Amino acid sequence: MKISGSYTLPVAPERAYQILQDPAVLAQAMPGCEGLEQIGPNEYRMKMNVILAALSGKFEGKVRIADAVPPTSFRLIVEGSGRIGFLKGDGLLKLSLANTNPSVSTVVSYEGDAHVGGTLAAVGQRLIDGTSKMMLKKFFDKLVSLAH
Amino acid sequence: MATTTVKTETFVGKRIRRREDPRLITGTATYVEDIQMPGMHYAMILRSPHAAARIRSINTKPAEAAPGVVCVFTGKDTKGVGVVPCGVAMPDLRVPQHTILATDRVYFVGHPVAVVVARDRYLARDAADLIEVDYEVLPAVADPEKALAKGAPAVHPQWPDNIAFTYHQDGGNIDKAFAEADVVVKQRIVSQRLVPMAMETRGVVAEWRGADRQLNLYTSTQIPHLVRTLVAGMLGLEENRMRVIAPEVGGGFGSKLNVYAEEALMGFVSTRIQKPVKWIESRRENFTCTIHGRGHVDYYEVAAKRDGTILGIKLKLIQDVGAYHQLLTPLIPQLSVLMMPGIYNTQNIRADIVGVFTNCVPTDAYRGAGRPEATHGIERMVDVLAAELKMDPAEIRFKNFVTKDKFPYATATGLMYDSGDYAAPLRKALDLVGYVKLRLEQADLRKQRKYMGIGISTYGEICAIGPSPATPAGGWESATVKIDPTGKVTILTGTCPHGQGEETTFAQIAADELGVGLDDILVIRGDTAVVQYGIGTFGSRATAVGGTAVYYALQDLKAKIKKFGAMLLESDDVTLIGGQVVDNKTGKSTTLQEIARASYRALKLPPNTEPGLIATRFWEPPNFTFPFGAHIVVTDIDGETGQIKIRRYVAVDDCGNILNPLIVDGQVHGGVAQGLGQALWEQAVYDDDGQLTTGELMDYALPRAHLMPWIESHHTCTPSPVNPLGVKGVGEAGTIGCSPAVVNSVVDALAPLGVRHIDMPLTPEKIWKVLAAKH
């Protein structure tokens, strides 16, 4: 499944880039995140509680950052599995200075591929698209509140 | 002894309400799930979330330490258990080792990996989540045509081309037929993957009685005796130490005409823990690990004369096998080939099947098993040909039918059609639907750019499966009829009815033969310790083959009853009528009860006669039977939304003699419902990674009651000469006749737009896209 979209953060690209890679900030911003622990350079272990309509369950996985080009882009690779299935995602995030706003802000655009499997795929297929969009919106909304 | 009036009421041919229904509709029937035993444990099976992966390691320790858990088994523990059997033998068939639990790899989503046994099913469920399986995910392929392409991932590494088997059949002179043709039409036709969806999912209770060296296996199956033979073999247990009981079975549709890993697995678990164990399949499991049906991609070519005479048919058939062969998987597309000429008089055919492994749950028999695919193919092709030649679809059918003077009729595929009058149901259906008027109305509606279609399907099918040489496990059926000392009648049948109503029809047969009431008769099935042996219920065989065995056992029994009656009456000229033996000379009579008592008391016996009243027959049918019929569907299509509305559904089925019209109606209705499901809504969809994305009833569009049209069910009657009852079978007719009639109707509606074919299911979205593209 393809995922893409964009979001505007009301901070300069350098600051946006920094918070997008700050485990403490990310852990707070990611919906359902119950822990993010650094296990290597640019690699984190993540615990997450996912709720998708009638399905809910804990996921354990890894988040990895690759191809980092501060402050303009990086790749985010997520892998997790739990009792309701597994998910894998690989996305490219691009940051650019928004020039339409009077104050400084950054457009974060993302484009990637997501795969789900197991019960999550069998039962939740209809809901994944909407839920992932909702979760991303929650994530960025929270990020805005943490950015200042 | 007295002279009394004789009972004259008969039951065969009457609309007798099903005797099994009260317990079924009041929730008092006993299914596998209802069985409780002291000390019973519960099993939960952990299944693969991946379509293809190598198992690097499995850590069961956290699950074993969980509360209530007795043990956890993986593929390492079950290595001694035999593989899940494929019952079909054919040259070059590639049979992968289908172990009951995965060992080093998983091959489809739902593949069993481990089993947790706990004293409570919820504890087992929770513990299963604690098992840690380290998978190395591998590329998967879920589409049979993609699996055949070069460079596709190999489902089984040892067979990189993914070909499971090939099969070729030639009849007549196909090259000559195509050389002489005025016209050749070609079409790719898909019969999509379907989930059989029995209301009762599968379930197993295994009870090992160590002291008796006896394994009792309760399982929701259509074939208890075959399960006993095969599962005993898998477990290395002597067959006489195993008893299989199919209690009430809540639907099967072919999905329970199988031997599954879980049946042997529960037997294994029970012998290990020395306790009874229960496993009940959840609906979500059912989607991913019980067989699917259909899964055909067919490439048809039909050669014909300009006047519509069909000269020959070519078929390239790609069968989606799934990851393994289940019991009959490779046989199903062969049934399609047998049926490919339909009921048309063409002696030239060529068929090539390629069975393809995919990373999906295996396909196998689903209501109709090969015949719906074949009927859909030929009936669509006849319409495609009619459109090409601008002929009326009814006219082209009349032109090509095997005429009624040609029976028995030898087909190009090697069958011998028993009896038929193919024009009769079509004529009747055309009259009933008002065909001529409808065509005039259609012409008017077309001027108003409204879409109304009339679809015809004239199907033939193979029933009463079947003569033993043509089946993998024997095609006969058995019956024992016994009369107790008090005169009550018990029938033990080797069939295993699970919705077909033979507790009623077999009682009707016996009641008429013996002249007793229905309430005097008990029909027992589904217990290998009680019933002699049997093949089971599938392929519309239970009444035509099993009922015939009952009939012949009754004849033996009647002869014996008459011997005892004659002895008691001291006569040499007696008749058995109305539950009594009557002396033809004096009119004196003796009742069945008196005869039964005398036969067991045995103070005196007729010459060369043993005590007791019991007779057993194993009846081998000399041929299949071949029912047929005509279904006509009238549809109206909403040009804005693509919604299809079925205005009329006329079914004229010829299933030979009808023993119980009520039951036949029920079979037709149920069959049509499932045919409509395939035609309009249902489809099992795997994504490119082999994930089943239609894994629940929210996404898999099973027909609901409110979606059903009114089915106008009618009959013609051409008795079968194959059995003395003259019956043919009707369990699958509705499904077989339905889907092409619906698709032909919709294509007919859209014909002004140049539409020639649309693949099932005909969802509004699909129709809307067709409409949008043409406008």
Q: What is the pLDDT of residues B123-147, one digit of tens each?
A: 999 999 999 999 999 999 999 999 9
Q: What is the pLDDT of residue B171?
A: 96
Q: What stretch(es) of chain B map to CATH 3.90.1170.50?
A: 32-138+201-249+256-289
- Nearest chain B residue to A115, by CA: B689
User: Residue B466, preceding bond cis, omega within 30 degrees?
Assistant: yes
Place of tokens 């591998």: B138
Half-sphere exposure of B606 (CA within 13 A, CB side): 20
B404 close contact with A: CB closer than 8 A:
no
For residue B616, give both structure tokens. Answer: 């057993």
Q: CA torsion angle for A78, A79, A81, A84 (degrees, to 10)?
A: 50
Res. A132: pLDDT tops 90: no
Place of tokens 């080939």: B337
Task: Note the pLDDT tens digit of each residue in B411-465.
Answer: 999 999 999 999 999 999 999 999 999 999 999 999 999 999 999 999 999 999 9
Nearest Cα neighbor of B192 from B758, B759, B688 is B759
Instruction: Name the minimum distance, in Å, from the CA of B411 to any CA of chain A.
Output: 44
Q: With beta carbons under 8 A apart, name residues in chain A contacting B693.
A: 121-122, 125
Q: What is the pLDDT of residue A125?
A: 74
Helices (H), B622-732: 661-676
Work out the average pLDDT over A123-137. Answer: 81
Q: With beta carbons under 8 A apart, name residues in chain A contacting B687.
A: 121
Shortest CB distance from A122 goes to which of B50, B129, B695? B695
d(CA B301, CA B160): 29
Helices (H), B203-302: 224-235, 261-273, 283-289
A118 close contact with B: CB closer than 8 A:
yes
Q: Return the exposure string of B355-393: e unless at least 16 CB atoms fall within 10 Å of the residue's CB, then b.
A: bbbbbbbbbbbbbbbbbbbbbbbbbbbbbbbbbebebeb
Interfacial A residues in 28-57 facing B (CB < 8 Å): none
Work out the average pLDDT over B655-682. Answer: 97
Please indicate whether, in this complex, the C-beta atoms of B695 and A83 are within 8 angstroms of each other: no
- The ipTM value here is 0.80
For residue B642, give both structure tokens. Answer: 């693509």
> What is the Cα Rg of chain B in Å?
28
Q: What is the pLDDT of residue A100?
A: 66
Res. B613: pLDDT tops 50: yes
B694 close contact with A: CB closer than 8 A:
yes
d(CA A82, CA B159): 32
Using CA atoms, how far residue B662 sits from B38, B92, B541, in Å, is 41, 46, 18
Place of tokens 């295994």: B206
Shortest CB distance from A86 goes to which of B49, B692, B693? B49
Shortest CB distance from B284 goes to which of A115, A123, A126? A123
CATH code 3.30.365.10 for B21-28+476-619? yes
Give the CATH number of domain B293-466+623-774: 3.30.365.10
d(CA B368, CA B330): 15
Task: Note the pLDDT tens digit of each residue in B731-758.
Answer: 999 999 999 999 999 999 999 999 999 9
Q: With beta carbons under 8 A apart, name residues in chain A contacting B695.
A: 119, 121-123, 125
Nearest Cα neighbor of B377 from B351, B403, B402 is B351
Work out the average pLDDT over B602-623. Answer: 97
Instruction: Name the minimum distance, in Å, from the CA of A146 to any CA of chain B.
Output: 35
Res. A147: pLDDT tops 60: yes
Shortest CB distance from A117 goes to which of B109, B696, B699? B109
A89 close contact with B: CB closer than 8 A:
no
B109 close contact with A: CB closer than 8 A:
yes
B3 pLDDT band, cuts 50/70/90, is very low
Positive or negative, the CA dihedral B87, B88, B91, B97 is negative
B6 pLDDT band, cuts 50/70/90, is low
Please indicate whether, in this complex, the C-beta atoms of B689 and A83 are within 8 angstroms of each other: no
Q: What is the pLDDT of residue B617?
A: 98
Please indicate whether, in this complex, the C-beta atoms of A117 and B693 are within 8 angstroms of each other: no
Instruction: Name the minimum distance, in Å, from the CA of B111 to any CA of chain A.
Output: 11
How large a percentage of chain B has pLDDT more than 70?
99
Task: Note the pLDDT tens digit of each residue in A16-37.
Answer: 999 988 888 888 998 888 888 9
Task: Note the pLDDT tens digit of each residue in B338-397.
Answer: 999 999 999 999 999 999 999 999 999 999 999 999 999 999 999 999 999 999 999 999
Nearest Cα neighbor of B330 from B371, B374, B364, B297 is B364
User: Residue B49, preceding bond cis, omega within 30 degrees?
Assistant: no
Place of tokens 């109206």: B636
Work out the average pLDDT over A61-71. Answer: 91
Average model confidence (pLDDT) across chain B:
96
CB B290 within 8 A of CB B401: no
Nearest Cα neighbor of A106 from A8, A34, A6, A5 is A8
Q: What stretch(es) of chain B map to CATH 3.30.365.10?
A: 21-28+476-619, 293-466+623-774
Please give, one letter per residue, the 3-state secondary structure of B500-556.
CCHHHHHHHHHHHHHCCCHHHEEEECCECCCCCCCCCCCCCCHHHHHHHHHHHHHHH
Domains in chain A, please, with CATH? 2-147 (3.30.530.20)
Measured at the CA of B257, the angle between CA B252 and CA B263, to 5 degrees, comes to 100
Work out the average pLDDT over B585-598. Answer: 97
A85 close contact with B: CB closer than 8 A:
yes
Q: With beta carbons under 8 A apart, name residues in chain B contacting A121.
A: 109, 687, 691-693, 695
Task: Note the pLDDT tens digit of each residue in A10-21.
Answer: 889 999 999 988
CB B725 within 8 A of CB B509: yes
Q: What is the pLDDT of residue B335?
A: 96
Give the CATH number of domain B32-138+201-249+256-289: 3.90.1170.50
Res. A124: pLDDT tops 80: no
d(CA A20, CA B633): 60
Amino acid type, B649: Y
Q: With beta carbons under 8 A apart, name residues in chain B contacting A113.
A: none
Q: What is the pLDDT of residue B509?
A: 98
Indicate left, alpha or beta for B720 from its phi (over 0: left) and psi (-120 to 50: alpha).
Answer: beta
Element at A87 (helix H, strand E): strand A85-98
Task: Note the pLDDT tens digit of each residue in B91-123.
Answer: 999 999 999 999 999 999 999 999 999 999 999
User: Residue B196, preceding bond cis, omega within 30 degrees?
Assistant: no
Work out the average pLDDT over B215-231. Answer: 98
Work out the average pLDDT over B606-619. Answer: 97
Q: With beta carbons under 8 A apart, name residues in chain B contacting A86.
A: 49-50
B673 close contact with A: CB closer than 8 A:
no
- Nearest chain A residue to B285, by CA: A119
Q: What is the pLDDT of residue B7?
A: 58
Amino acid type, B656: G
A137 close contact with B: CB closer than 8 A:
no
**C-alpha B205: how far from chain center:** 24
Res. B1: pLDDT tops 60: no
Task: Note the pLDDT tens digit of each residue in B279-291.
Answer: 999 999 999 999 9
